[in-house]
A = this chain, B = another copy of it.
């Protein structure tokens, strides 16, 4: 036998949190719309946010590798 009350509580809490996550995703989307309107390149901003999350040494390593791979395929 499952505890219906416990199960319902679990489901409803997850649904509430997922709803909040969805709202936040919408807020992020709005900010990118604002950024685009202000003339910024959204892809570049996303890349910048990714880079800010990384360690500087990791960024440098990736940039070096990107450069090496580019040359390797003649770009």
Distance in Å from the Cβ of A23 to the closest Cβ of chain B? 10
A3 is an interface residue with CB less than 8 A from chain B: yes
Q: State the oligomeric state as a number of copies.
A: 2
Contacting residue for A38 out of B3, B14, B31, B48, CB 8 A: B3
Which residues from chain B contact A24 at a C-beta distance below 8 Å?
17, 20-21, 24
Check B3–A45 contact: CB distance below 8 A: no
Give residues 8-54 of A contacting B (CB, 8 Å): 10-11, 13-15, 17-18, 20-21, 24-25, 27-28, 31-32, 34-35, 38-40, 45, 48-49, 52
Contact A17:B28 (CB < 8 A) given known A2-B40, A3-B38, A38-B3? yes
